[in-house]
Structure 1
Protein backbone atom coordinates (compact mmCIF):
# COMPACT_ATOMS: atom_id res chain seq x y z
CA UNK A 1 0.00 0.00 0.00
CA UNK A 2 1.42 3.36 -1.00
CA UNK A 3 1.51 6.00 1.72
CA UNK A 4 -0.16 9.36 1.27
CA UNK A 5 3.23 11.03 0.92
CA UNK A 6 6.68 9.88 -0.15
CA UNK A 7 8.94 8.34 2.49
CA UNK A 8 11.72 10.71 3.55
CA UNK A 9 15.12 9.15 2.89
CA UNK A 10 18.63 10.30 3.78
CA UNK A 11 21.51 8.92 1.73
CA UNK A 12 24.95 8.40 3.29
CA UNK A 13 27.97 8.46 0.97
CA UNK A 14 31.75 8.51 1.21
CA UNK A 15 32.78 9.13 -2.41
CA UNK A 16 31.43 10.02 -5.82
CA UNK A 17 27.89 9.00 -4.92
CA UNK A 18 26.86 7.22 -8.11
CA UNK A 19 24.27 5.10 -6.27
CA UNK A 20 23.00 8.24 -4.51
CA UNK A 21 22.61 9.84 -7.94
CA UNK A 22 20.63 6.80 -9.13
CA UNK A 23 18.31 7.19 -6.13
CA UNK A 24 17.89 10.93 -6.65
CA UNK A 25 17.10 10.62 -10.35
CA UNK A 26 14.51 7.89 -9.77
CA UNK A 27 12.55 9.51 -6.93
CA UNK A 28 8.82 9.14 -7.33
CA UNK A 29 5.70 9.07 -5.16
CA UNK A 30 7.25 6.37 -2.94
CA UNK A 31 10.38 8.20 -1.71
CA UNK A 32 12.13 11.57 -1.63
CA UNK A 33 15.77 12.24 -0.77
CA UNK A 34 15.78 14.80 2.04
CA UNK A 35 19.50 14.79 2.90
CA UNK A 36 22.81 13.60 1.49
CA UNK A 37 25.36 13.11 4.26
CA UNK A 38 29.02 12.13 4.19
CA UNK A 39 31.87 11.31 6.53
CA UNK A 40 34.19 12.95 3.96
CA UNK A 41 33.57 16.67 3.44
CA UNK A 42 35.50 16.50 0.14
CA UNK A 43 33.33 13.69 -1.30
CA UNK A 44 32.48 14.41 -4.93
CA UNK A 45 28.91 13.24 -4.38
CA UNK A 46 28.26 16.15 -2.03
CA UNK A 47 29.02 18.66 -4.78
CA UNK A 48 26.65 16.81 -7.13
CA UNK A 49 23.93 16.81 -4.47
CA UNK A 50 24.34 20.55 -3.84
CA UNK A 51 24.23 21.25 -7.58
CA UNK A 52 20.91 19.41 -7.66
CA UNK A 53 19.45 21.42 -4.77
CA UNK A 54 19.67 18.74 -2.11
CA UNK A 55 20.50 19.54 1.51
CA UNK A 56 23.86 18.11 2.58
CA UNK A 57 25.70 17.34 5.79
CA UNK A 58 29.42 16.64 5.97
CA UNK A 59 31.59 15.94 8.97
CA UNK A 60 34.84 14.01 9.28
CA UNK A 61 34.92 11.84 12.40
CA UNK A 62 38.67 12.19 12.74
CA UNK A 63 39.54 14.26 15.75
CA UNK A 64 36.09 14.15 17.36
CA UNK A 65 35.59 10.39 17.72
CA UNK A 66 32.87 8.03 16.60
CA UNK A 67 30.31 8.82 19.34
CA UNK A 68 30.43 12.58 18.68
CA UNK A 69 30.39 12.04 14.92
CA UNK A 70 27.37 9.73 15.09
CA UNK A 71 25.53 12.09 17.47
CA UNK A 72 25.99 14.95 14.99
CA UNK A 73 24.96 12.72 12.08
CA UNK A 74 21.88 11.51 13.96
CA UNK A 75 20.91 15.11 14.77
CA UNK A 76 21.27 16.11 11.09
CA UNK A 77 19.15 13.13 9.97
CA UNK A 78 16.41 13.96 12.45
CA UNK A 79 16.52 17.68 11.60
CA UNK A 80 16.01 16.76 7.93
CA UNK A 81 13.01 14.64 8.92
CA UNK A 82 14.55 11.43 7.58
CA UNK A 83 12.51 8.31 8.16
CA UNK A 84 14.91 5.92 6.40
CA UNK A 85 18.62 5.79 5.62
CA UNK A 86 20.11 4.43 2.40
CA UNK A 87 23.83 3.68 2.56
CA UNK A 88 25.33 4.26 -0.88
CA UNK A 89 29.07 3.71 -0.89
CA UNK A 90 29.28 4.78 2.74
CA UNK A 91 32.57 3.25 3.85
CA UNK A 92 32.27 3.68 7.61
CA UNK A 93 30.92 1.02 9.97
CA UNK A 94 28.03 2.33 12.03
CA UNK A 95 28.04 1.58 15.75
CA UNK A 96 25.61 -0.93 17.21
CA UNK A 97 23.94 1.93 19.11
CA UNK A 98 23.37 3.94 15.93
CA UNK A 99 21.97 0.90 14.09
CA UNK A 100 19.68 0.19 17.07
CA UNK A 101 18.31 3.77 16.98
CA UNK A 102 17.44 3.31 13.30
CA UNK A 103 16.54 -0.40 13.49
CA UNK A 104 14.81 -1.73 10.35
CA UNK A 105 15.11 1.67 8.67
CA UNK A 106 18.63 1.42 7.17
CA UNK A 107 19.43 -0.39 3.93
CA UNK A 108 22.68 -0.84 2.03
CA UNK A 109 23.81 -1.75 -1.47
CA UNK A 110 26.65 -4.28 -1.36
CA UNK A 111 28.78 -5.37 -4.37
CA UNK A 112 28.39 -9.14 -3.98
CA UNK A 113 25.72 -11.79 -3.96
CA UNK A 114 25.24 -11.94 -0.21
CA UNK A 115 25.79 -13.93 1.91
CA UNK A 116 28.96 -14.43 -0.16
CA UNK A 117 31.83 -11.98 0.18
CA UNK A 118 30.86 -9.72 3.03
CA UNK A 119 33.14 -6.75 3.53
CA UNK A 120 35.68 -5.42 1.04
CA UNK A 121 37.37 -6.62 -2.19
CA UNK A 122 34.27 -8.51 -3.24
CA UNK A 123 34.94 -8.60 -7.00
CA UNK A 124 38.52 -9.83 -6.64
CA UNK A 125 37.37 -12.49 -4.19
CA UNK A 126 34.62 -13.72 -6.56
CA UNK A 127 37.09 -13.92 -9.46
CA UNK A 128 39.71 -15.69 -7.32
CA UNK A 129 37.12 -18.24 -6.20
CA UNK A 130 36.30 -19.08 -9.83
CA UNK A 131 32.66 -18.01 -9.47
CA UNK A 132 30.56 -17.94 -12.64
CA UNK A 133 28.64 -14.90 -11.45
CA UNK A 134 29.13 -11.85 -9.33
CA UNK A 135 26.65 -9.14 -8.60
CA UNK A 136 25.12 -6.96 -5.96
CA UNK A 137 22.66 -7.19 -3.11
CA UNK A 138 20.48 -4.76 -1.22
CA UNK A 139 20.09 -5.67 2.43
CA UNK A 140 18.73 -4.37 5.70
CA UNK A 141 21.56 -3.11 7.93
CA UNK A 142 22.02 -4.87 11.27
CA UNK A 143 24.78 -4.83 13.86
CA UNK A 144 26.52 -7.68 12.01
CA UNK A 145 28.43 -6.63 8.87
CA UNK A 146 26.48 -7.31 5.65
CA UNK A 147 24.29 -9.87 7.42
CA UNK A 148 20.78 -8.36 7.43
CA UNK A 149 17.81 -9.56 5.41
CA UNK A 150 18.58 -9.53 1.69
CA UNK A 151 15.87 -7.59 -0.12
CA UNK A 152 17.08 -8.28 -3.65
CA UNK A 153 20.05 -9.31 -5.79
CA UNK A 154 21.23 -8.79 -9.35
CA UNK A 155 23.63 -11.24 -10.98
CA UNK A 156 26.36 -10.39 -13.48
CA UNK A 157 28.35 -13.05 -15.37
CA UNK A 158 32.06 -13.22 -14.65
CA UNK A 159 34.07 -13.47 -17.87
CA UNK A 160 37.39 -15.33 -18.16
CA UNK A 161 39.28 -12.07 -18.80
CA UNK A 162 37.58 -10.06 -16.03
CA UNK A 163 39.56 -8.05 -13.54
CA UNK A 164 38.10 -6.69 -10.34
CA UNK A 165 37.74 -3.34 -12.12
CA UNK A 166 35.92 -4.64 -15.22
CA UNK A 167 33.56 -6.72 -13.10
CA UNK A 168 32.94 -3.77 -10.77
CA UNK A 169 31.98 -1.58 -13.73
CA UNK A 170 29.36 -4.08 -14.92
CA UNK A 171 28.05 -4.67 -11.40
CA UNK A 172 27.71 -0.92 -10.86
CA UNK A 173 25.24 -0.73 -13.75
CA UNK A 174 23.10 -3.31 -11.96
CA UNK A 175 23.49 -1.51 -8.63
CA UNK A 176 22.00 1.63 -10.19
CA UNK A 177 19.02 -0.40 -11.41
CA UNK A 178 18.50 -2.55 -8.31
CA UNK A 179 18.90 -0.01 -5.50
CA UNK A 180 16.04 2.34 -6.42
CA UNK A 181 13.70 -0.61 -6.98
CA UNK A 182 14.56 -2.17 -3.63
CA UNK A 183 14.32 1.15 -1.77
CA UNK A 184 10.89 1.68 -3.30
CA UNK A 185 9.74 -1.75 -2.11
CA UNK A 186 11.34 -1.32 1.32
CA UNK A 187 9.59 1.96 2.17
CA UNK A 188 6.24 0.50 1.07
CA UNK A 189 6.43 -2.44 3.51
Structure 2
Protein backbone atom coordinates (compact mmCIF):
# COMPACT_ATOMS: atom_id res chain seq x y z
CA UNK A 1 0.00 0.00 0.00
CA UNK A 2 1.38 3.39 -1.01
CA UNK A 3 2.16 5.95 1.67
CA UNK A 4 1.13 9.49 0.76
CA UNK A 5 1.56 12.97 2.14
CA UNK A 6 -1.12 15.54 1.38
CA UNK A 7 -0.07 19.19 1.10
CA UNK A 8 -2.75 21.83 1.80
CA UNK A 9 -2.88 25.54 2.58
CA UNK A 10 -6.56 26.17 3.27
CA UNK A 11 -9.81 24.57 4.31
CA UNK A 12 -8.71 21.03 3.48
CA UNK A 13 -11.96 19.90 1.85
CA UNK A 14 -10.04 17.89 -0.77
CA UNK A 15 -7.84 16.46 1.99
CA UNK A 16 -11.00 15.34 3.78
CA UNK A 17 -12.44 13.77 0.61
CA UNK A 18 -9.20 11.82 0.14
CA UNK A 19 -9.08 10.74 3.81
CA UNK A 20 -12.72 9.61 3.65
CA UNK A 21 -11.99 7.58 0.48
CA UNK A 22 -9.09 5.90 2.32
CA UNK A 23 -11.38 5.20 5.28
CA UNK A 24 -14.02 3.60 3.03
CA UNK A 25 -11.39 1.49 1.29
CA UNK A 26 -12.03 3.16 -2.08
CA UNK A 27 -8.45 4.46 -2.11
CA UNK A 28 -5.84 1.89 -1.14
CA UNK A 29 -3.29 4.19 0.46
CA UNK A 30 -2.11 5.39 3.85
CA UNK A 31 -2.04 9.11 4.52
CA UNK A 32 1.12 9.48 6.58
CA UNK A 33 1.21 13.25 6.89
CA UNK A 34 -0.49 16.55 6.17
CA UNK A 35 2.02 19.25 5.18
CA UNK A 36 0.64 22.75 5.71
CA UNK A 37 2.21 26.19 5.29
CA UNK A 38 -0.54 28.08 7.17
CA UNK A 39 -0.66 27.48 10.95
CA UNK A 40 -4.33 28.52 11.15
CA UNK A 41 -5.58 26.50 8.17
CA UNK A 42 -8.71 24.41 8.73
CA UNK A 43 -6.91 21.51 7.01
CA UNK A 44 -4.94 21.00 10.25
CA UNK A 45 -8.18 20.48 12.20
CA UNK A 46 -9.43 18.06 9.58
CA UNK A 47 -6.18 16.05 9.78
CA UNK A 48 -6.50 15.85 13.57
CA UNK A 49 -10.03 14.51 13.13
CA UNK A 50 -8.57 11.59 11.12
CA UNK A 51 -5.63 11.15 13.54
CA UNK A 52 -3.22 12.13 10.78
CA UNK A 53 -0.13 14.03 11.93
CA UNK A 54 0.56 17.45 10.49
CA UNK A 55 3.86 19.12 9.70
CA UNK A 56 3.07 22.84 9.89
CA UNK A 57 5.57 25.47 8.89
CA UNK A 58 5.78 29.12 7.88
CA UNK A 59 8.04 29.83 4.90
CA UNK A 60 9.02 33.20 6.39
CA UNK A 61 10.77 31.31 9.22
CA UNK A 62 13.30 29.89 6.71
CA UNK A 63 16.12 31.47 4.76
CA UNK A 64 14.92 30.00 1.47
CA UNK A 65 12.55 27.62 -0.28
CA UNK A 66 15.40 25.11 -0.39
CA UNK A 67 15.67 25.29 3.42
CA UNK A 68 12.01 24.56 4.15
CA UNK A 69 11.74 21.96 1.38
CA UNK A 70 14.76 20.13 2.87
CA UNK A 71 12.97 20.00 6.21
CA UNK A 72 9.77 18.76 4.53
CA UNK A 73 11.83 16.16 2.66
CA UNK A 74 13.26 14.94 5.96
CA UNK A 75 9.73 14.51 7.35
CA UNK A 76 8.65 12.63 4.22
CA UNK A 77 11.66 10.31 4.33
CA UNK A 78 11.14 9.56 8.04
CA UNK A 79 7.62 8.42 7.22
CA UNK A 80 8.71 6.58 4.04
CA UNK A 81 6.26 8.59 1.91
CA UNK A 82 5.96 7.28 -1.66
CA UNK A 83 3.74 9.94 -3.21
CA UNK A 84 2.83 13.62 -2.72
CA UNK A 85 -0.73 14.83 -3.27
CA UNK A 86 -1.29 18.59 -3.49
CA UNK A 87 -4.78 19.56 -2.35
CA UNK A 88 -5.05 23.32 -2.31
CA UNK A 89 -1.36 23.87 -1.53
CA UNK A 90 -0.74 27.41 -2.72
CA UNK A 91 3.03 27.25 -3.31
CA UNK A 92 5.06 26.18 -6.29
CA UNK A 93 7.03 23.04 -5.56
CA UNK A 94 10.77 23.63 -5.83
CA UNK A 95 13.65 21.59 -7.18
CA UNK A 96 14.35 19.93 -3.80
CA UNK A 97 11.01 18.11 -3.73
CA UNK A 98 10.65 17.81 -7.52
CA UNK A 99 13.90 15.89 -7.86
CA UNK A 100 13.23 13.64 -4.85
CA UNK A 101 9.67 12.82 -5.99
CA UNK A 102 9.95 13.10 -9.77
CA UNK A 103 6.77 11.77 -11.38
CA UNK A 104 5.22 11.19 -7.95
CA UNK A 105 3.63 14.58 -7.21
CA UNK A 106 0.09 15.35 -8.36
CA UNK A 107 -2.08 18.43 -8.09
CA UNK A 108 -5.74 19.28 -8.54
CA UNK A 109 -6.73 22.53 -10.23
CA UNK A 110 -10.22 24.07 -10.56
CA UNK A 111 -10.25 24.61 -14.33
CA UNK A 112 -9.80 22.69 -17.55
CA UNK A 113 -6.10 23.33 -17.98
CA UNK A 114 -4.41 24.84 -19.86
CA UNK A 115 -7.23 27.41 -19.44
CA UNK A 116 -7.11 29.57 -16.31
CA UNK A 117 -3.91 28.44 -14.56
CA UNK A 118 -2.75 29.96 -11.27
CA UNK A 119 -4.74 31.57 -8.49
CA UNK A 120 -8.50 32.12 -8.56
CA UNK A 121 -9.17 29.92 -11.57
CA UNK A 122 -12.88 29.81 -10.70
CA UNK A 123 -13.04 33.61 -10.66
CA UNK A 124 -11.05 33.79 -13.90
CA UNK A 125 -13.50 31.45 -15.64
CA UNK A 126 -16.52 33.22 -14.19
CA UNK A 127 -15.23 36.67 -15.19
CA UNK A 128 -14.35 35.44 -18.70
CA UNK A 129 -17.96 34.39 -19.24
CA UNK A 130 -17.09 30.91 -20.50
CA UNK A 131 -19.85 28.28 -20.65
CA UNK A 132 -17.70 25.39 -19.44
CA UNK A 133 -14.88 25.09 -16.96
CA UNK A 134 -13.95 22.10 -14.84
CA UNK A 135 -11.35 20.25 -12.82
CA UNK A 136 -7.92 19.00 -13.86
CA UNK A 137 -5.63 16.55 -12.10
CA UNK A 138 -2.05 16.75 -13.32
CA UNK A 139 1.50 15.78 -12.50
CA UNK A 140 3.55 18.60 -11.00
CA UNK A 141 6.56 20.07 -12.76
CA UNK A 142 8.52 23.28 -12.22
CA UNK A 143 5.82 25.48 -13.81
CA UNK A 144 2.52 26.76 -12.50
CA UNK A 145 -0.14 24.20 -13.47
CA UNK A 146 1.90 23.09 -16.50
CA UNK A 147 2.56 19.40 -15.79
CA UNK A 148 1.13 16.52 -17.83
CA UNK A 149 -2.63 16.13 -17.44
CA UNK A 150 -3.86 12.89 -15.86
CA UNK A 151 -7.62 13.46 -15.86
CA UNK A 152 -10.20 16.20 -16.36
CA UNK A 153 -13.92 16.65 -15.86
CA UNK A 154 -16.00 19.46 -17.30
CA UNK A 155 -18.40 21.60 -15.28
CA UNK A 156 -21.05 23.66 -17.06
CA UNK A 157 -21.48 27.27 -16.02
CA UNK A 158 -25.18 28.06 -16.09
CA UNK A 159 -26.33 31.59 -16.85
CA UNK A 160 -27.87 31.93 -13.37
CA UNK A 161 -24.81 30.59 -11.49
CA UNK A 162 -23.17 32.91 -9.01
CA UNK A 163 -19.46 32.62 -8.35
CA UNK A 164 -20.23 30.84 -5.07
CA UNK A 165 -22.54 28.34 -6.81
CA UNK A 166 -19.87 27.65 -9.40
CA UNK A 167 -17.33 27.05 -6.65
CA UNK A 168 -19.65 24.50 -5.00
CA UNK A 169 -20.17 22.71 -8.33
CA UNK A 170 -16.40 22.57 -8.91
CA UNK A 171 -15.73 21.31 -5.38
CA UNK A 172 -18.33 18.54 -5.75
CA UNK A 173 -16.47 17.33 -8.85
CA UNK A 174 -13.08 17.67 -7.12
CA UNK A 175 -14.19 15.63 -4.11
CA UNK A 176 -15.28 12.80 -6.39
CA UNK A 177 -12.67 12.93 -9.18
CA UNK A 178 -9.52 13.30 -7.05
CA UNK A 179 -9.95 10.15 -4.91
CA UNK A 180 -10.97 8.09 -7.99
CA UNK A 181 -7.97 9.31 -9.99
CA UNK A 182 -5.60 8.71 -7.07
CA UNK A 183 -6.99 5.19 -6.67
CA UNK A 184 -6.03 4.45 -10.30
CA UNK A 185 -2.61 6.07 -9.96
CA UNK A 186 -1.63 4.37 -6.74
CA UNK A 187 -2.53 0.79 -7.69
Measured against the shorter chain, the TM-score band is over 0.9
Structure 2 unaligned residues grouped into runs of 5+ = none
* Number of residue pairs aligned between Structure 1 and Structure 2: 183
Deviation, 1:30, is: 2.3
Counterpart in the other structure of 1:163 = 162
Greater Cα offset, 160-169 or 150-159: 160-169
Q: Verify the 8 A CA contact 1:99 1:142 in the aligned structure 2.
A: yes
Three-state SS of the structure 1 residue aligned to 2:15 is: helix
Partner of 1:46: 44
Distance in 1 separating the partners of 2:147 and 2:162: 28
Match runs of 1:109-120 below 5 Å: 109-120=108-119
Tell me how far apart the structure 1 counterparts of residues 125 and 42 of structure 2 sit (CA, whole Å).
28
Once the two structures are superposed, the pairs formed by residues 8-87 of structure 1 within 5 Å of their partners are 8-27=3-22, 28=25, 30-64=28-62, 65-87=64-86
The alignment's TM-score, normalised by the length of structure 2, stands at 0.92
Structure 1: tracts of 5 or more residues without a match: 1-5
Equivalent residue, structure 1, for 2:106: 107
User: TM-score, structure 1 length as denominator?
Assistant: 0.91
More helix by share: 2
Mapped partners of 1:41, 1:125: distance in 2: 28
Query: What do the CA deviations read for 1:79-99 (whole angstroms, capped 9, x no partner)?
Result: 111100000000111113321
Deviations 1:122-147 (A, max 9, x none): 12222233321111111000112111
Distance 1:120 1:16 in 2: 15
